[in-house]
Amino acid sequence: MSHQRIKTPCVGLCSTVYGDLVCRGCKRFHHEVVNWNQYTEEAKRAVWMRLEALLVQVVQAKLEVFDAQRLRRQLEQRQIRFVAEQSAYCWAYQLIVRGARAINQLEAYGIALLPEFRGWELPALRDAIDREFFLLSEAHYERYIAPRFLREGMQMRI
């Protein structure tokens, strides 16, 4: 496994080049994708924290991480990249994204699905988490970012 620090949330599936205001891959806003390399470490950390908070909210509603150390060991053994500083719920998401078709017993990874999701196949769960994560990111953009761009646009015309 590469022990290099993950420097960007990019997952290589950028949809902002097609005009999306929120990337369907990494869930960053279009201006964050475009300006990422100019951001200060503090600005990057703020983006990472927002993405983590939204993802944790979605994942916690579907599963429980009951043994974070076991999960971490499994990720390392399987050479699945993850951000060590993030919540174990983000790690669980990385595991499901990378291994949804190969995992037979989630409990062996220190994870258990909540009762209402126990009948779900992991690829379907992965897709549901990804969809909900995108919808939350999009809602966050619409609520907090879009109005600021509108205000700034109106001020430039005056």
Q: Give tens-digit pLDDT for 103-132.
A: 989 999 999 999 999 999 999 999 999 999
Tokens of 60: 């916690």
Question: What is the distance in angstroms between the CA of the first residue and the CA of the last residue of the chain?
Answer: 54
Contacts (Cβ under 8 Å, ≥6 apart) of 110: 65, 66, 67, 68, 69, 70, 71, 74
Q: Give tens-digit pLDDT for 64-109.
A: 999 999 999 999 999 999 999 999 999 999 999 999 999 989 999 9
* Residue among 32, 29, 2, 27 at smallest CA distance from 13: 27
Judge whether residue 52 has pLDDT over 60.
Answer: yes
User: Which phi and psi angles does 96 have, rounded to 5°?
Assistant: -65, -40
* Residue among 105, 77, 109 at smallest CA distance from 93: 109
Judge whether residue 5 has pLDDT over 70.
Answer: no
Task: Indicate whether this model's pTM tops 0.75.
Answer: yes
Question: What is the per-residue pLDDT for 57?
Answer: 98
